[in-house]
Amino acid sequence: MTTEHPFYELIQALVADTIRSTAGFQGELVLCATIVLILISRIPRFAARIDAFWLTLVGSAAALYLAGPWNEIAQPSELFTGLLVYDSFTVYFRTLLFFFLVLFTIFTRISGIPDRDAGPDVYSLVLGATLGMCIMASANQMLMVFLGVEMASVPCYALAGILKGRRTSSEAALKYAVYGAGAAGIMLYGISLLAGVLGSVHMPTMAVRLAELLQPANIEQHIGADTYMVLALGGMMVMVGIAFKLSAVPFHFWCPDVFEGASAEVNAFLSVASKAAALALLARVAIGFGYIPQTISAEPPAAAINAPAEQTEATSVPIKLVSQTTEQAGAATGTFDRDDQIAALAPVREFIWKLVAFLAIITCTFGNLAAYGQTNIKRLLAYSTIAQAGYMMMPVPAAMVLAGHDPVAAREALAAMAFYAGVYVFMNLGAFAIVALLRNQIHSEEIADYAGLIRRAPVTTICFAIILISLIGLPPLAGFAGKLLIFYSLVQAKLWTVLVIAGLNTAISLYYYLRVVKVMTIDPEPEQVRAAEINFIPGTYIVAITVPVVLLGLAWNQLNELTLAASAHLF
Amino acid sequence: MESSYVTLLSLIVFLPAAGALVLAFFPRDKGDAMKTFTLVVTAAVFVLTLIMLLPGKGDWQFQVGVSDMQKTFSLPWIESFNIYYFMGTDGISFPLIVLTAFVSMLSMAASWPITKYVRAYCILFLLLETGMLGVFLALDFFLFYVFWEVMLLPMYFLIGVWGGPRREYAAIKFFLYTLLGSVFMLIAILMLYFASDLKLLSDEQLAAAYVVDTSLSPEQQTAQIAELRAHAGPIHTFNILALQQIGQHTDAFDGEILWGKSLQWWAFLLLLVGFVIKVPSVPVHTWLPDAHVEAPTPISMILAGVLLKMGGYGIIRICYPICPDAGYDLAYFVCALGVVSMVYGAFAALAQKDFKRLVAYSSVSHMGYVVLGIGVWSAVAGNEFNADAWKLGMNGAMFQMIAHGISSPGMFFLVGVIYDRVHHRNLDQFGGLFAKMPLYAGLSIGIFFAGLGLPGLCGFIGEVFVTLSVWNFSPGLAVVSASVVIITAAYILWTLQRVYLGPEYKGPHPEALTPMTPREILIAAPLLALAIVFGVYPQAIFNYLTPSVDQTVNELATWTKDGKAPRIESEATAALPAPAAIVAQQ
């Protein structure tokens, strides 16, 4: 390649990097194309007959197909000049999101919300939100963190209000939007503080700067001590944004109201996809600041091997734009290598684990206690979602404690989180699917109206019972395997307080989950009842969602190995 | 041979579950057919255990006099977490398995009066039986825990749907208590798993824990061990036998974790809480009277006959052998729990007006003997290491479990018989049943005497053994535990007097006092017969029990002698200034 004007070279390199990066971004691109297609298909008369459902289904299935590959990612790499990171953790969560999207699309068809007119709106919003969630799961840069959160949130605000003309639905949407805007503003402020002090928005670079700031020599001489407060404040503000997405206490207030007002379909989407993405983001940010990952290679992802060889070569330049700083930083301080940096970040990890552990504990406990008094099933499940978010956050502090001295165990901790997120797809989608399908039959979402349901809809009731019991975490169901792995990560990190509180919470949660089961099975039927017979296709769908909950409880070796592979590059 | 054991033990455990599956396809209105089918399934399981029980040298027969695990097999289940489908039985678990199968069969026979939702009842009953049998056969801690929890849900529904007026309260109380206990147990399991490392064990110990496939040739076994040793990093395990070896022969569990206490101290305590809730001991016994009173008769029989035994079994199989150090330090605590339960249960029984509640409290009292007998850590007699007294205590505790597993289902069944007729259990409104139902009264008096611990009946042996063994450990506790017998005699005799003796029955529904039906006789008579047989010839049980119990005790005594005693001595000398130093100062 002949040397050209530096500007031309830069452009050329950027083009090459973009082409290379798109290979690792195919799933998201398919979603974008699907959204455009759905929107355009409304305009010509002949295309108006195409149901948006089919477009969405095909689009999400294609995205799922392209989300792989699994075993071929030897080394993690950065996409789009370091905006996103492409590793097996990205692939896992992306696959999970697309897989959920497929299941969710089928579910909306069965439950009948949205109807045909609202279909294009709803599906394009859902796809757009999923796109944002994918970015959350692979964010490598603070701006992408913010962009991902916003891209995932804004469509959700609209989704919450999708039941037009219903007061509660509009109220939910407004509440959600106002709360979300506030949280996003705080988060953005936090990002600006962090970026201001550390001089970058690229997380690995920020971590290196942070390590330099905190290296023993500087601490002894109190160099940079005046910035600690700003950093801590910035960190907490960023956490506010993530906690909002996770519906962690005390940023959970929107959750029960939104869940009660929005339709069960939207709830399923919010409680599963949104939560999984927020968890991945939490892990990304925690690792991003608390740990120095192994040098991210500039090698293209395996899928991009077909790209022209010349362009691949040229990628070294823009990558340098980013990773240069890392190298320089290393060179400037002489022997201050990766191990020293990781050691220097110990206070950051301590800050993160204490913050997240505290949030996890109160989220879990509050969610479980508040669920006691609920009479509306959607509100109850909203609090259950909050409590479950608490459990799912717990591996992050464990990983932060372990990262410094036992990377293998730290990986296992985040694998536990990924595992729980995986089984959570089935548990919560199943729960909300049953709530939605029952609503279509008995036109009620009050727990009291489920009385004696087992006499009218035995299969549905048994499936619901299995899902609720799995949410408690009793063997031999999938929820137990997830909880076992999470608890084990806490044991490894020796976080005894968190462990005991998590254990007690399991016992507390028994009561309200079982109360629903009790109402459905033990309580007598009321005098006048509506038929609750679930038809063949919805029934099959419910069973199909419930069967994995049982199977993953009996044989969870495969999923466990999958999640271990997913977290293999993190530490 | 291993494959044949897989078949045998899996059949025993999962035959009921398979039966539950078949029941789902029965036509809705065939209630009696479902009950018959369920009875046949439980009987088939009992026959399988009988095949093991009967003497003989066949492959499936239980080898009497062998102290090690028998019929073991181990198949990989969840390899990425070192979980195995590992089962086997020895003298400690085998009698309990036979008891479980037997009591399940009888209580299914006692379930004929159930007419509400028969299909669901039978399915839950069979799932419960699978869980119970699995607990006694599992040798993988994870598997054990899964079975332990699998029982909870069927039990909840069996009490909650088919129980008495306050059934929902009783059911949730039972569930909450047990779940709380099992959450603690889960934490302990994970702690032990985390601290365990198979590489610490010698080749022989690995073979003894069946980590190595013993059916392979010696070369293959060596290769397997070499492969194990070559593994980078620790190899954690859920294998109960391996955990026992690690607990007794290495210091893997001695690390200090919290408030100056070692990992095994905490693990022991957490496990003990889980098991003691099941036993149940005072002060965590309060679920039991409620659950018993509200549960339908057959479920009370299962509860008293089998479920309570799981606590004792857990303590004897898991707590002590895996965490001996903590067991040694907490011996007094455990014994005190036992004695307090005995005394409290007996006094509480004395105060009851409800017939069934009285029997329930008698269970609390009788299970106290089990905890006491297991807890008596008297490996040191004088200055000698002599574990005879402890062996006596542990054998007595095991015998007491079997004896109580026969007498208390009998008592609950007999209470159920009278309740089915007159629909009340108020002790003050009975009387004169001897005249109206002579056979019933005769069987009752026999079985209640067995519960009382009358010499010649099964209750006597366990109580005497335990009480005798305590003398060596603590005479004070022995005096208390011996005097409990008097209170026991008081409440049982007083009960017999109020219910069966007296001139005439004055309560409601006197016309319903009809003689026992043949079905009822067929359930009660075998229980009384066994109570007499085991009382006269206790060797019938001890033959199975003693080798394994003695081995457990011997191992712990060896541990006390070689591991604990020198440590105590060195700590004692460290606490005092060395004599040489004192001399030097002077």
Q: How many residues does chain A have?
A: 571
CB atoms near residue A547 (< 10 Å): 14
Residue A306: pLDDT band with limits 50, 70, 90: very low
> What ipTM score was computed for the predicted complex, to two decimals?
0.88
- The alpha carbon of residue A494 is apart from the nearest alpha carbon of chain B, in Å, by 8
Residue B161: closest CA among chain A residues belongs to which residue? Answer: A522
pLDDT at residue B144, rounded to an integer: 93
Does residue A302 carry a pLDDT above 60?
no
Chain-chain contact of B183 with A557 (C-beta, under 8 angstroms): no
Strands B384-385, B380-381: parallel, antiparallel or unpaired by DSSP? antiparallel
**Is B537's Cβ below 8 Å from some Cβ in A?**
no
| pLDDT at B221 exceeding the cut of 60 | yes
Please determine, for residue B57, whether its predicted confidence score (pLDDT) is greater than 80.
Answer: no
Percent of chain A with pLDDT over 90: 35
**Rounded to whole angstroms, how far apart are CA atoms A76 and A90?**
10
By C-alpha distance, which of A380, A385, A378, A379 is closest to A247? A385
pLDDT in tens, B17-47: 999 999 888 888 888 888 899 999 999 999 9
User: In chain A, which residues have their Cβ closer than 8 Å to the Cβ of B168?
Assistant: 518, 522
Select from A413, A496, A409, A497 the least CA-distant residue to B236. Answer: A409
The pLDDT of A222-243, averaged and rounded, is 86
- B240–chain A nearest CA distance, Å: 18
Nearest to B153 among A469, A488, A500 (CB): A469
* Token pair in block for residue B263: 């990992």
Instruction: Determine whether the interchain pair B183/A504 forms a contact, defined as Cβ–Cβ distance below 8 Å.
Output: yes
Please choose, from the candidates B341, B275, B344, the residue with its C-alpha nearest in 3D space to the C-alpha of residue B308: B275
Higher per-residue confidence, A492 vs B567? A492
SS3 labels along A104-127: HHHHHHHHCCCCCCCHHHHHHHHH
At residue A408, does pLDDT exceed 50?
yes
Q: Which of A117, A111, A115, A156 is nearest to A133 (CA)?
A: A156
CA max distance for chain A: 87
Q: In chain B, what is the greatest distance between 2 CA atoms, to the nearest angstrom?
A: 95
> Above 50 in pLDDT, residue A562?
yes
Pairing of strands A77-79, A84-86: antiparallel
* Window B:120-159, CB contacts with A under 8 Å: 145-146, 149-150, 152-153, 156-157
The two tokens of residue A287 are 């690792």
Q: How far is A556 from chain B (nearest CA, A)?
A: 7
- What distance in Å separates the CA atoms of residue A292 and residue A571, rounded to the nearest whole number? 8
Write b or e for each residue in B443-465: b if 16 or more Cβ atoms lie within 10 A of its Cβ, otherwise e.
Answer: bbbbbbbbbbbbeebbbbbbbbb
Nearest to B138 by CA among B220, B228, B252, B243: B243
Instruction: Tell whether the model's pLDDT for residue B418 goes beyond 90.
Output: no
Q: For position B543, what pLDDT does the model report?
A: 86
Q: Which of B80, B152, B190 comes nearest A560 by C-beta?
A: B80
**Which of B147, B141, B40 minimizes the C-alpha distance to B97?**
B147
CA atoms within a 13 Å half-sphere pointing along the CA-CB vector of B372: 36
Residue B517 clears pLDDT 50, i.e. is over it = yes
Q: Please name the residue of chain B whose CA is at the shortest distance from the CA of residue A486.
A: B190
Task: Tell me the mean pLDDT in the region A513-530.
Answer: 84
Q: What is the pLDDT of residues B246-290, one digit of tens each?
A: 888 887 777 777 787 888 889 999 999 999 998 888 888 889 999
Q: Do B186 and A488 touch (CB under 8 A)?
A: no
Q: Which residue of B has its CA nearest to A452?
A: B161
For residue range B438-461, list pLDDT tens digits in order.
Answer: 888 888 989 999 888 888 888 888
Whose tokens are 């159930």? That residue is B114
- Name the phi and psi angles at B75, rounded to 5: -120, 140
Tell me how far apart the terminal alpha carbons of chain B are, to the nearest angstrom.
Answer: 72
Of B414, B453, B425, the residue nearest B509 (C-alpha): B425
Q: Is the model's pLDDT at B581 over the cut of 70?
A: no
Q: Hey, what amino acid is at A182? A: G
3-state secondary structure at position A272: helix
Other Cβ atoms closer than 10 A to B519:
12
Q: What is the pTM of this model?
A: 0.89
pLDDT of residue A322: 42
Question: Which residue type is seen at A268?
Answer: A
Query: What is the tens place of the pLDDT at every residue in A443-489?
Result: 888 888 888 888 888 888 999 999 999 999 888 899 999 999 999 99
DSSP string, A10-33: HHHHHHHHHHHHHHTTHHHHHHHH
* Percent of chain B's residues with pLDDT above 90: 24
**Cβ density class A223-250: b for 16+ within 10 Å, e for less:** ebeebeeebeebbebbbbbbbbbbbbbe
The answer to whether B500 contacts chain A (CB < 8 Å) is no
Residue A298 has pLDDT above 80, yes or no: no
Q: Region A149-160: what's the mean pLDDT? A: 91
What's the rounded Cα separation, in Å, for the pair A488 and A481?
Answer: 10
Q: Is B284 on the interface with A (CB under 8 A)?
A: no
Contact list, B190 vs chain A (CB under 8 Å) = 484, 487-488, 491
Per-residue pLDDT, A297: 46
CA dist B145 → A551, B238, B563 (Å):
18, 11, 30
Q: Is the CB of A461 inside 8 Å of chain B's CB atoms?
A: no
Q: What is the pLDDT of residue A22?
A: 82
Report chain B's mean pLDDT, rounded to a whole number.
85
Mean pLDDT of chain A: 84
CB burial of residue A164 (10 Å; 0-12, 13-18, 19+): exposed
- pLDDT for res A331: 44
Query: How far away is chain A from the Cα of B83, in angstroms, using its nearest Cα?
Result: 9
Q: What is the dihedral of CA A219, A220, A221, A225, to 10 degrees?
A: 30
Q: Which of residues 25-84 of A touch B (CB under 8 A)?
A: none
Mean pLDDT to the nearest integer, A97-120: 86
pLDDT at A311: 40
